[in-house]
Structure 1
């Protein structure tokens, strides 16, 4: 049951939050094959740090973490993806992950960050309330990180029978130059959650 809940949350994270499709890639082992498909350069990795081309953002990849399947690195360090919204993702395992995206807001009916926050909170509440065997709580807050205004939505999933906390999901969203910058941090280990959160916040505070 735990794996079922966790897998479900990760589907929500990749589809509902970022509106991303599955992409083909690897942690660099198939990087040379990237030249045969349509790719979208979005950044570069040098000395363990990802530098974004979409806006001024640099984030360290923690030691011991591997890139997710959607992040393809070419031999020169350029990061590419078949999906134009995907920036970079890295993980310890499938339950402790960091994902980021950058998606145009052109044509969106949601024009304010507060409206977007309300939309996401409603989406999460509506989605998880349909699962009878799942307990959850959703909370939200506004914050300033570096030069940007963010909202944060935290979702905590519990085993309905034992009340054991199964997974925590922290979603950070900001509007940057008419784009939605999203970061999703999933963790079942609070120490990993703390590390990923501090790593993200410091990446925008320097």
Structure 2
């Protein structure tokens, strides 16, 4: 008999999970070695403990929260892809995207990976690629109701329409570029902080091992001196 599924997370619980994941950049590491995988498991256990201590519903397992996070990432990537396609519509009606604060937050956390770009730790190349995509969208960035309305054949109206379209295109391009730059910067800082903390921890472990070895050598020398005295 299959085990019954738990109740789905509420909007508040989903946002809580997203915040917990954002606070632990080790989750975003693409390394797959044994030590890193173990570190991720420990981190997810900690996230789960913190999460369960703050919710009123039934507790969740690390596996459940990890699966939920993977589903959120997929939904955020799909949502962002739809947004990008809407920018490139050739006058057709854009797909409706219902507001979703959690998925917008996930997209911001994922940064460049949400749009499907494979650039290590982000960079200027990502911004340039996005700018090129938006520049293509500027040409066709005319609202749906304007496209389907017979144009008024006056030079002044055409001029205003063209000016309005370009202005909106520039605004979208500027907003999208700023969002991507902000996401890349946030993600890079989180990764840098993680590796700094990891390197510091490795140095401390090395010093402790070195000190332990020195003490063992001193102990051996002391025992040897005592033996020689006898």
Q: TM-score w.r.t. structure 2 length? A: 0.26
Give 1 or 2: higher strand fraction: 1
Q: TM-score w.r.t. structure 1 length? A: 0.28
Give 1 or 2: higher helix fraction: 2
Larger Rg: 2
